[in-house]
Amino acid sequence: MDFQKLVDLYGELEKTASGNKMREILSDFFKNVPAEDIAVISYLTLGQIASGFDDVVMGMAEKSVTKAIAMASGTDAAKVQKILHETGDIGLTAEKVLQKKPQTLVPLGKLTVHELFEKLHTIAGASGTGSQEQKMGILSGLLQKTSATGAKYICRIVLGTLRMGVGEMTVLDSLAIAYTGSKEAKEALEKAYNICPDVGIISETLVKQGLKGIEKIDVHVGRPIQMMLAQRVDELHELEDKIPGKWQVEGKYDGERVQAHKDKKGEIMLFSRRLENITEQFPDLVADLQKYIEAKEFVIEGEIIAVDAKGKQLAFQTLMQRRRKYDVEEYIKKVPVQLKLFDVLYLNGKAWLHVPLEKRAEQMEKFLTKNKTIVLTDRIVTDDVEEANAFFHTMLKQGYEGIMIKSLASEYQAGTRGWNWVKWKKEYVKEMADTFDLVVVGAYYGRGRRSGTYGALLCAAYNEKEDRFDTVCKLGTGLTDEQLAELPTKFAKYKVEHKPARVTVQKEMEPNVWFEPKVVVEVLAAEITKSPFHTTGWALRFPRFVKFRDDKKAEQATTVKEIEGMK
Ligand code: ATP
């Protein structure tokens, strides 16, 4: 397919302020995409060239992209830099500069979507000496082969700022409508996406093999599975109704969730809650997994916590120091970690998702050699609320966050927040206070002490049913002066000209600045009240900033349904 067709689609999507309209445009477009292009186009629509977990990084700084624009247009790099300074956006800069391209630079023929995709992969793959020049050369060639508007989007893709407002669910929805004529197929696609979160594979399978092919998609070692999530209750007594049968009650740790995969070749990969590859951050853990888990192939899950010399859990912030690319060896010693293992999802050639938890737990006891860094979660088996409550207090005394109550008979439900897992945290027993993970969708300019930065952030919950972000509070309390001062820089990357299509807002709440829904913040609030000013229909009272949840994607924020269940 000619890339210009995709450019026209991007143009239409960029103008759209409604999620439904966006799905309509996308599904109409998908109907005419040839089977061999559908995967590529699915990635590119998300502004990516591979699925998020594939760890493909373009590796180009803004400065190199600016130079490539200069090369492609025969303009002076300093002039391009000046325009970038004025527009503040690499895409608009490329468009502006290339519109004025001298006639002597004849277009080099048509750029196809496939050629673009391959060349972008070559850019990502180039490393070592001379690679920056090579990357610039390829990019400049691409920019010469496309229209000025095409150049705008290519530069944004390269720097990861395409900001079209399209999410994975938007693509799945639109595919369902395009290829099966209805939204009903969405359920099957979502189910497949939960065990194969790769829109490229899903779209290609759908187009080539139909829904039958989609139903056959299974666990694949090396490809992360969307993680199973927990519900919350207001009273521990509700457990009796919510989870029939016996429960496995486990300690709940405040660390980083990890899914570890070991493939046939013996290679181990670690994936975060956002399904990003974090293997290189934890070489110590990788070595211990090799040593202490006796299995040829596995997919297991646990919580990584930072511990002191006695094995006592340290704060989440301490663990976050391990989130780094450099000085990894030094920090292995500074911040030792422990893995609290709680699940096995695949073992030696077979998916274990459908095996009841009781059996999965037995299996973990079998394959784990006793050691200090990889240990099973603290646990008891019971169906008695009082016993669960006593265990909860034991866990709090040991410095943990609370308990997880899991149905002993349950399957592992990938990507699902069902009643088979329930969380009970210490915040729940304090009066009314509860935490929410909300998506920042806009900001208001600050006044007085806060002038020059933002005074408050507009926060939204995720409306899972409609795949949109509905607002629920204005957040201005709890941030330190330092955090406040950093807000404009932190959010610059996500700034967009108009309201993102999947965000809904009441007139009264319109912010001064809009953000693509990407950043998640944890917010503590005293109460939930009905509100005509927020599109969830609810407002949080006395919201307080707790921390940034960089481990969560926007679609993993607290949902509107959860808020309704908590009020
Ligand atoms: P969620 O993961 O439910 O969206 P969250 O990331 O905000 O929410 P919590 O609400 O505190 O976290 O609880 C769920 C998380 O608790 C899991 O994702 C996991 O990281 C962590 N966790 C800690 N201990 C356990 C355990 N024993 N079993 C499962 N998860 C655990």
- Give the pLDDT score at 433: 60
**What is the reported pTM?**
0.84
pLDDT category at 17 given cuts 50, 70, 90 is confident
Q: Where are the beta strands (DSSP E) in 285-433?
A: 298-306, 337-347, 350-351, 374-376, 379-382, 402-407, 417-425
404 lines ligand 1 (CB under 6 A): yes
**Mean of the pLDDT values across residues 360-378?**
97
Q: Are 6 and 163 in contact (CB under 8 A)?
A: no
Q: How distant, in Å, are the alpha carbons of 432, 435, 462, 529 from that of 542?
A: 12, 12, 20, 11
Looking at the predicted structure, is the pLDDT value of residue 434 above 80? no
- Give the pLDDT score at 517: 97
- Give the pLDDT score at 234: 85
Q: Whose CA is nearest to atom 16 of ligand 1?
A: 252
Q: Are 60 and 134 in contact (CB under 8 A)?
A: no
**What is the tens place of the pLDDT at every residue in 62-112?**
999 999 999 999 999 999 999 999 998 999 999 999 997 665 555 567 899
> Which of 252, 345, 396, 464 is the best mutation target for the ligand 1 pocket, counting ligand atoms within 8 Å of the beta carbon and taking the most?
252
- Give the pLDDT score at 432: 46
**What is the tens place of the pLDDT at every residue in 309-347?**
889 999 998 999 999 999 999 999 999 999 999 999 999
pLDDT, averaged across the chain:
93
**Mean of the pLDDT values across residues 193-210?**
96
pLDDT category at 447 given cuts 50, 70, 90 is confident
Q: Whose CA is nearest to atom 24 of ligand 1?
A: 252
Q: 434-565 maps to which CATH number?
A: 2.40.50.140
437 lines ligand 1 (CB under 6 A): yes
- Helix, strand and coil percent figures for the chain, each rounded to 5: 45, 25, 35
Q: Tell me, yes or no, if 252 is annotated catalytic.
A: yes
257 lines ligand 1 (CB under 6 A): yes
Q: How far apart are the CA of 229 and the centre of ligand 1, in A?
A: 7
The runs of H, that is alpha helices, within 321-404 are 328-334, 357-367, 385-397
Looking at the predicted structure, is the pLDDT value of residue 290 above 90? yes
**Mean of the pLDDT values across residues 462-478?**
94
Looking at the predicted structure, is the pLDDT value of residue 163 above 90? no
**Mean of the pLDDT values across residues 20-44?**
95
Buried-exposed string 175-185: b where 16+ CB fall within 10 A, e elsewhere: bbbbbbeeeeb
**What is the tens place of the pLDDT at every residue in 120-137?**
999 999 999 999 999 999
Tell me which H or E stretch contains 159.
helix 148-159
Q: Of 96, 119, 145, 252, which one is the catalytic site residue?
A: 252
pLDDT category at 395 given cuts 50, 70, 90 is very high
Q: How far apart are the CA of 273 and the centre of ligand 1, in A?
A: 9
Q: Which CATH architecture has domain 229-426?
A: 2-Layer Sandwich (3.30)
> Which of 226, 228, 253 is the best mutation target for the ligand 1 pocket, counting ligand atoms within 8 Å of the beta carbon and taking the most?
253
Q: Whose CA is nearest to atom 1 of ligand 1?
A: 229
Query: Could you tell me whether strands 337-347 and 350-351 are parallel, antiparallel, or unpaired per DSSP bridges?
Result: antiparallel
More confident residue, 238 or 448: 238
- Give the pLDDT score at 356: 98
Q: How far apart are the CA of 401 and the centre of ligand 1, in A?
A: 10
Give the start-to-end residue ranges of the domains of the chain. 3-158, 229-426, 434-565
- Give the pLDDT score at 131: 94
Choices 3.30.230.10, 1.10.260.40, 1.10.3260.10, 1.10.3720.10: CATH for 3-158: 1.10.3260.10
Tell me which H or E stretch contains 49.
none
555 lines ligand 1 (CB under 6 A): no
Q: Which of 155, 199, 257, 210 is nearest to 552 (CA)?
A: 257
3-state secondary structure labels for all residues of 466-526: CCEEEEEEEECCCCCHHHHHHHHHHHHCCEECCCCCCEECCHHHCCCEEECCCCEEEEEEC
